[in-house]
Structure 1
């Protein structure tokens, strides 16, 4: 199946599928019982659910900049970790997605990281034939929220396993790291919403053009099944904060008719929401082609 794309105002948007993987269903849904969450996403014999790493390429015809939001897990994992997460590039890969859309890695001028957990930034570098790390996007500036950078470089014991040295060190060494604040506007029509429950300083890019709004929701809403308010991931560092942020975001998404672009949902690319009494639920699902 071909990858989707669309145009909003002066922005060209391209779906970048970087590969699939699996995570433990219990960890993905926290205190929610399996009897409930498995109705929405089935688990395999090891209790893992199917997930993907769906990124977004944004070409601005106003500034000429080419933004990539996150870049997937990359290819630096050893065989043991590949098996644990069942990383699969057989259907999709970062390189294949770029090729299908007619872009090269050299075209990317900006990489906007929602956060620096390994499944969001692993492809920033790759190992060459000599086993040395090289930058995948040699012409890019890397944008990270200040709070996330502090967290990633000085992680607590619980979150440390998500910030891999081989991913963080190259960002420490580059001269092209740009640390941003809450109110960053990358250009007119491209800003961010910052949330802190999953990890401090997670930025959710928001595109506003042609009277429409599209938000890349990253790990605030890992899948469409995570829409119910108390369905919060066990991976979240500050679940009570997530609960407050999620409630405010869901109501804003309904009120402003924001399209939600899902990074990890294997089954749905974009969803819309609607109010159903006191609850918010999924109204529709679509792709960039249908936006």
Structure 2
């Protein structure tokens, strides 16, 4: 099994949105403010090559929206999947499976694109798309606030492809990869746990977006049930510490992954990790 980080986007988010009720005087100690209360974010997808499968977890936000939309995201640097996949020796046609943690635009938008005649089509022509059944249903009927994160041109092409597969429950997905489901951030967010043979790597998605979210009270303002997020996280971090899981961060601009350690106030970040060091 080979793991390769694929950085799809670089963008910025308002720190108040990112850290919810945690005061700026506290969150700036663990995640630097850039300017105008904005923090730097990446969308770090993960390529898993195992057997004959090339699996990509999440796809970034893509480029289907207009300039005005992306100006609100404060994107910077290069965006897109073609170059990072090519660096890994692959093209979009080589991807066999897309595993979505959830369907918010910054996680699923890159799965489709607008072609030269203005039609939206799939970016990964040979891939099977995987999502939790709970979250797919939720995306169709969420709430007035969260519904703005779901776009029909992201989801309809996947549904019409005939290659959308919905996962009904937690457990082993394929050999070496199991799936967990959490609902504090959004209903049915799917979090992969990858057994490389050397370690178990948790693709933390928006469950624990950056290293700075390891403390229990640090929960984004966009989570639909922040108290549930805290309960889910506290329980899972104890499990992760006990079993020496490595957390892989999708949105941390500064840190790719870490082990956990027992601290005076509970579970805390431990050794920083580069995920490719786990490859044989």
- The TM-score, its normalising length taken from structure 1, stands at 0.92
> How far off its partner does 1:41 sit?
1.7
Question: Residue 70 of structure 1 is aligned with which of 35, 38, 58?
Answer: 58
2:105 equivalent among 109, 114, 118? 118
| Structure 1 stretches of at least 4 aligned residues deviating more than 4 Å after TM superposition | none
Question: Displacement of 1:253 after TM fit?
Answer: 1.0
> Contact (CA 8 Å) 1:153, 1:168: kept in 2 or not?
no
Question: Is residue 248 of structure 2 the alignment partner of residue 248 of structure 1?
Answer: no
1:228 aligns to 2:218 (yes or no) = no
Structure-to-structure mapping, 1:56-205, within 5 angstroms: 56-61=46-51, 64-90=52-78, 93-205=80-192
| TM-score, normalisation: structure 2 | 0.96
Contact 1:18 1:89 in 2 (8 A): no
Identify the residue that residue 39 of structure 1 maps to in structure 2: 29
* Secondary structure in structure 2 of the residue aligned to 1:250: helix
1:211 to partner: Cα distance: 4.4
Alpha-carbon separation, structure 1, partners of 2:242 and 2:173: 24
**Greater mean deviation of Cα atoms: 165-174 or 67-76:** 165-174
Give the Cα–Cα distance (whole angstroms) in 1 for the partners of residues 129 and 213 of structure 2.
Answer: 29
User: How far 1:88 sits from its partner (Å)?
Assistant: 2.7
SS at 2:30 equivalent: coil
Paired with 2:176 and 2:117, the residues of 1 have a C-alpha distance of 42
How far apart are residue 119 of structure 1 and its match? Answer: 0.4
The count of corresponding residues between Structure 1 and Structure 2 is 278
> In the alignment, which residue of structure 2 is the partner of 1:21?
11
How much does 1:14 deviate?
A: 1.1
Unaligned runs of 5+ in 2: none
Q: How far is 1:246 from its partner?
A: 0.2
Aligned with 1:191: secondary structure? strand
Match of 1:3 in 2: none
Root mean square deviation of aligned Cα: 1.3
Structure 1: tracts of 5 or more residues without a match: 1-10
Distance 1:48 1:277 in 2: 30
Asked if 1:215 corresponds to 2:215, the answer is no
